[in-house]
Amino acid sequence: MKKLLTFIMLTSTLIVCANNKNPLLDNLKTPYGIPPFNQIKTMHYLPAFKEGMRIHAEEINAIANNPASPTFANTIEALDHSGLLLRQVNSIFFSLTENETNDELNKIAEEISPVLAEHTDNIYLNAKLFQRVKMLYNQRTSLNLSGEQKRLLEENYRDFIRSGASLNAADQEKLRALNKELSVLTLKFGDNVLNETNDYKLVIDRKEDLAGLPEVVIEAAAQTAKENNLEGKWVFTLQKPSLIPFLQFSERRDLREKLFKAYINRGDNDNANDNKAIINKLVNDRLQHANLLGYPTHAAYVLDDNMAKTPETVMTFLDGIWGKGLSKAKDEAADMQQMIVAEGDTFKLQAWDWWYYAEKVRKARYNLDEAALKPYFKLENVRQGAFDVAGKLYGLKFVKLEGMPVYNPDVEVFKVLDEDSSYLGIYMTDYFPRPGKRGGAWMGNFRDQYIQAGKDVRPIIYNVGNFTKPAGDEPSLLNQDEVETLFHEFGHALHGLLSRCHYVTLSGTSVDRDFVELPSQIMENWSMHPEVLKLYARHYKTGEVIPDSLIAKIRQSDTFNQGFMTTELVAAALLDMDWHTLTKAADRDVRTFEKSNMDAIGLINEIVPRYRSTFFNHIFSGDYSSGYYAYLWAEMLDADAFDAFQQHGIFDKTTATSFRKNILERGNTEDPMVLYKQFRGAAPDPAAFIRRRGL
């Protein structure tokens, strides 16, 4: 039942319901089970949630009050099969609150989130149900279960315990109140960040203020201005495809500072969207929640259910990287300062200068700049490159489907076939920023894979990004970071699409937080590999394959700026741990707390944590609290895992088949380190990670 707490990741087949007027409650026989977005209206959600919870509650009561003795089938398996309609409604609704939200959906989310939290508590705090699960858990060695069944039973029991099933009645009531409040606070935090992102616009009305910007960036800004009824001007936003090119190329240092500060101060402007009070409440509530369950800190509670297991392990891991990354970052800052002086300026390098001078140093050192690469990275070609890699590794085929119901015209739909042409699932892509979509990139699903009554229910997976939009006659041209992000999210998609599990609560990406990034991060290794670049990197105008000289420059600059990249990421991971290893509740000054902790680790002024507290959606609105370190942990795994491919050939079928069978297909059916060792033959070697980052 691990996924029960994260309804947005749960899906099911469409359920037949008597109310044919609500498409969320009706099996409309849509193609491949894709949600009928063209028929769903805002008014349908609340009735669908209520009906889904009603049916689920009946199913739970039937399991809990079953007069027959508990068996794996009538208790554990029945729990896994329960709540299918509610999972469907959740997956659709909460995907839209992230991808295509509006004020009406936000109001529904605020209303329904505490109700869903209460519904979940009613399940985990059902004493009769817990006794049935506990009885089976105590008998687990004599039940003759398969490995996957044993894992499901153990995970169910663990989830009940971690949800307060063994607490006394008074503490359970406290837990219920906290869960309701936390569900609302996390929503509000994310809404505030989205509002701050959407509200800010840097409007430029003089052409000379565009000095240094590539023409494609200028055209995109003009298009954004037109969309905002500011035709004849240029508008830059806090969305990464607009922000980063401006910071990289604009010669107007004062405007770079203005845009950068607007970005890093989101949620920290003492206005209606301010997140500082919410952070304090979240941190204190999470601490109280952890204490009720017997843990000294929120981090201890979270990490007990991850590969790392303890905050001490995470801190040791991060400390081992921090010194190396910071030392390299200081060298990089010195190189940039030297360039500033060489150009006749006397100012000291600041955080809003980093992107600009890093680009200059890269061009001077490697004769490589972003503008030279982007023409070879047309979005559609990059995506096809990811498809081709999946084809060479696993034999997959992606077939474009037209006329499918989608929630936004930007969404494209593909049918995924296995090597033998058998059907694997549906894959959707949604790549461009818009006001109703939160920033960043992620994978989600409208249906998980599972087997029921002998039928293999195949998944419906989507990838979301916020990449550079087409502008005028120019297609969407990605930068190197966006290319790697596309491959990264595609790796998550493969994890969901290739799942071969019996139980929905164990399938696909429902694995430990610090293991889930392995399938995604390993895919990044193929994105810039010379052999792969030759497959997809073609000039969008001439069709010319990317020249060897440019590939050589990419390879030579592999470890360029890795001090900065490592330092800003580790700083954010440490900030996450700082907030969630607190042992006493207090009303803290968020700015002072953050600064004092960053000063304590020696973070240089020229670098800001990748996410400052007030817009750190991963940990205060998403599922990564005490878990942002997972990206680095998984990179340790993926660097070692990709070494296996490099040793035998990056498209070696034997290695690919082993990775698919032992990692991608297995979900959470086994301890992740056991799965990793089955693939690699040994525990991961951290040295591969250090080598890759050039540290």
Output the six-digit token pair for 33.
């089970």
Choosing from 51, 489, 524, 568, the catalytic residue is: 489
Residue 350, Ramachandran bin (φ over 0: left; ψ between -120 and 50: alpha; else beta): beta
- Using DSSP's 3-state secondary structure scheme, residue 622 falls into coil
536 burial type by CB count under 10 A (0-12 exposed, 13-18 middle, 19+ buried): buried
Give 412's strand partners.
Answer: 429
- Grouping H, G, I as helix, E, B as strand and the rest as coil, residue 57 is helix
**Which long-range CB contacts under 8 A does 534-539 form with residues at least 24 apart?**
535/385, 535/388, 535/389, 536/381, 536/382, 536/384, 536/385, 536/388, 537/376, 537/377, 537/381, 537/382, 537/385, 538/376, 538/378, 538/381, 539/375, 539/376
> Which residues, in sequence order, are bridge partners of residue 477?
378
- Asked if 40 and 23 count as a contact pair (C-beta separation under 8 A), the reply is yes
Residue type, 159: D
Distance CA 251, CA 263 (A): 18
Q: In a 3-state reduction of DSSP, which class is residue 551?
A: helix
Distance CA 497, CA 508 (A): 7
Reduced to 3 states, what is the DSSP secondary structure of residue 146?
coil
**Is 594 considered catalytic here?**
no
Residue 455, classified by CB atoms within 10 Å of its CB into exposed (0-12), middle (13-18) or buried (19+), is exposed
* Positions marked catalytic: 489
